[in-house]
A and B are shown apart, each in its own frame.
Chain A
Amino acid sequence: MPPDLSTEEVSRIAKLSRLSLTPDELQLFSRQLAGILGYVEQLQALDTTDVPPTSHPLALTSPLREDDLRPSLPREDAVGAAPEPDQEAGFFKVPRVIGG
């Protein structure tokens, strides 16, 4: 049986996901996430002993390149789309992280 998700459990997942939820959302998601987990429970019926996992459809080797300087996005463009850019300093502004 799927684990029944308590609102405490959903709160814990929401915290890990960096999402603030309303009380209504907490209720809705605990029901819906339990429903989805109930559906995917069917996978447990399959014997996957010794089956290697596939993380990617291609057999990839990481492409490498010379570590040389190439043209890249101008800093003003990279900073320009931010909600609180500081174009003069070339920074993204965020709430205080240390101290305060």
Chain B
Amino acid sequence: MTGPFTIKAIRNAVASGSTSAVECCEAALARIREADGSIGAFRTVDPARALSRAADIDRRRQELAHLPLLGVPVAVKDNICTRDFPTTAASRILEGYVPPYDAAAVERLTAAGAVILGKTNCDEFAMGSSTENSAYGVTRNPWDRERTPGGSSGGSAAAVAAQMVPLALGSDTGGSIRQPAALCGVVGLKPTYGRVSRYGLLAFASSLDQIGPITGCVEDAAVAFEVLAGHDPRDATSVVYDETTAGAQAPESLDGLRIGVPRSLIREGVEPGVLEAFERALAALEGCGARISTVELPHSRYGIAAYYLIATAEASANLARYDGVRYGVRAPGEDRTLAEMYDRTRGAGFGAEVKRRIMLGTYVLSAGYYEAYYRKAQQVRTLISRDYDEAFAQVNAVALPTSPTGAFRLGERTADPVLMYLADVFTVGANLAGLPAITVPCGFTEGRLPVGLQLTGRKMDERTLLRLASAYEKAGLPPHERLGPVANQKPDQPE
């Protein structure tokens, strides 16, 4: 395969017969063999299954030629159920577990003609911001192998950044699509809560979780979003909303669109190189016709605190199902009682971060603490959502750096949970308020680490986000700094 490594290029080439799905699949598998030994993006790859699926697509090419992901090799985060691959959420407690069904998002990828190559590494049960909480080893950032790819969807972001696949699924509870996408220099979209079915996503915090695409460019994110979004009666929180985002990336002028910047949030704690790239991105958006103004999100500084109380409370309930009875692993040995079996299985099966969060969640929901912690956090969630409502009365989107820093070193934050949590300071707001948000690469820090521009939009208004991000992508960076599909350097082969 030659030419740009994008969904559109691959799909068109396969549909027209100028290349085959098998060739595309072989190229992606070769890239994984070549690069993944030093990155560790994948947990599981099944070349035989992928090639057989690709051959099937080639046999039925004319009948399937209209499909939007025809023959496109893709990867799926390991907390999303696949009946053809083990699904462990990077936890020992689910070692070897093969779900008896596909997640709705996986069904949709397959129905659109995609070829699933394998499952990507992540923080255990998506709890983390560096992918270091995986029970099966770390994933390294393709731009600097001594640094984390971010997390929790670090394997998905690294796989796209290293051009192993043009599309990988992630999940985002507090920033887990956007932060790793930003740190790996790729595009990540967290859809509006309810737009993509959570059926088959291993639940972490059900009022915050959303599945979304990680891609090399905005146009691919738009194509993938179109495939993934839609009502699903198997997810009680799935919304009925069918407006298409197709063509959102067509008009390059942003005349009439207004972008708000919560200046008071970025006065401190943001790395200088990140801030400079962010300011240049705003200037580029202004150059495309957007109007930039200052907005206030006065309660967003409390977002991390509210988020960690709400998310852990929900997690403590959701993870109760991992008890050594119905799936996964049971700790070996003789148990006198059922309770003893639960305690030992969960004690041995969960890693440290998952235990911390289950205990924090149990604590804040327990008698005597519920009002002071959990209910208080839910009230602050209301205040944060209201701030966004007020901002969106003035502007179409809110801009922030996706992450306050570039990719951090492996091991740098693992000893300090609170420091790790602060990686999500600019991303949790969209989850708490249920809003869509996208990250698009906007340059580099002084240390040549990618920086992401985050745009958060009104509920159900992915279209405006894709339009802004696409215009920025085309205009914002000089060609030699442009990442994604037209990268003139592979990230692991610096010039």
Instruction: Please tell me if the beta carbons of B385 and A54 are within 8 angstroms of each other in the complex.
Output: yes
Binding site for B on A (CB under 8 A): 10, 13-21, 25, 28-29, 32-33, 35-37, 39-40, 42-44, 46, 48, 51-58, 60, 62-63, 65, 73-74, 77-78, 80-84, 92, 94-97, 100
Instruction: Please tell me if the beta carbons of A36 and B355 are within 8 angstroms of each other in the complex.
Output: no
A16 to chain B, nearest CB (A): 5
Residues of B within 8 A of A80 (CB): 100
Residues of B within 8 A of A10 (CB): 359
Residues of A within 8 A of B325 (CB): 82-83, 92, 94
Residues of B within 8 A of A28 (CB): 352
Count how many chain B residues have C-beta atoms less than 8 Å from C-beta atoms of the other chain: 71
Q: Decide if B267 is an interface residue (CB 8 Å cutoff).
A: no
Instruction: Please tell me if the beta carbons of B239 and A58 are within 8 angstroms of each other in the complex.
Output: yes
Residues of B within 8 A of A19 (CB): 343, 346-347, 350, 355, 358-359
B335 CB contact (under 8 Å) in A65, A83, A95: A95
A96 to chain B, nearest CB (A): 8
Interface string of B349-380 (1 = CB under 8 A from A): 01010011011101100100000110111111
Residues of B within 8 A of A36 (CB): 308, 356, 360, 417-418, 421
Given contacts A18-B346, A39-B421, 14 further A-B contacts (CB under 8 A): A13-B366, A17-B362, A18-B320, A18-B343, A19-B343, A20-B343, A21-B347, A35-B417, A39-B418, A54-B378, A58-B194, A65-B233, A78-B100, A95-B340
Q: Decide if B393 is an interface residue (CB 8 Å cutoff).
A: no
Residues of B within 8 A of A37 (CB): 360, 363
Instruction: Please tell me if the beta carbons of A42 and B302 are within 8 angstroms of each other in the complex.
Output: yes
Residues of A within 8 A of B433 (CB): 57
Instruction: Please tell me if the beta carbons of B338 and A20 are within 8 angstroms of each other in the complex.
Output: no
Instruction: Please tell me if the beta carbons of B340 and A32 are within 8 angstroms of each other in the complex.
Output: no
A81 CB contact (under 8 Å) in B299, B320, B327, B359: B327
Q: Decide if B330 is an interface residue (CB 8 Å cutoff).
A: yes
Residues of A within 8 A of B237 (CB): 56, 58, 60
Give the residue among B99, B233, B342 with the most A Cβ atoms within 10 A.
Answer: B342
Residues of B within 8 A of A20 (CB): 343-344, 346-348
Instruction: Please tell me if the beta carbons of A52 and B350 are within 8 angstroms of each other in the complex.
Output: no
Cα separation A80 to B320 with both chains bound (whole Å): 20
Give the residue among A32, A83, A97 with the most B Cβ atoms within 10 A.
Answer: A83
A35 to chain B, nearest CB (A): 6
B378 CB contact (under 8 Å) in A16, A53, A58: A53
Instruction: Please tell me if the beta carbons of A40 and B326 are within 8 angstroms of each other in the complex.
Output: no
Cα separation A43 to B380 with both chains bound (whole Å): 8
Cα separation A46 to B421 with both chains bound (whole Å): 21
Instruction: Please tell me if the beta carbons of A32 and B356 are within 8 angstroms of each other in the complex.
Output: yes
Q: Decide if B316 is an interface residue (CB 8 Å cutoff).
A: yes
Cα separation A33 to B356 with both chains bound (whole Å): 7
Residues of B within 8 A of A73 (CB): 100-101
Given contacts A32-B417, A60-B237, contact A17 B358 (CB under 8 A): yes
Instruction: Please tell me if the beta carbons of B359 and A95 are within 8 angstroms of each other in the complex.
Output: no
Instruction: Please tell me if the beta carbons of A62 and B236 are within 8 angstroms of each other in the complex.
Output: yes
Cα separation A27 to B35 with both chains bound (whole Å): 40
Residues of B within 8 A of A57 (CB): 193-194, 207, 385, 432-434
Instruction: Please tell me if the beta carbons of B383 and A48 are within 8 angstroms of each other in the complex.
Output: yes
Given contacts A21-B347, A94-B325, contact A33 B382 (CB under 8 A): no
Of chain B, the residue at the smallest CB distance from A49 is B379
B178 to chain A, nearest CB (A): 17
Give the residue among B305, B308, B339, B344 with the most A Cβ atoms within 10 A.
Answer: B305
Cα separation A93 to B191 with both chains bound (whole Å): 40
Residues of A within 8 A of B408 (CB): none
Q: Decide if B480 is an interface residue (CB 8 Å cutoff).
A: no
Of chain A, the residue at the smallest CB distance from B350 is A19
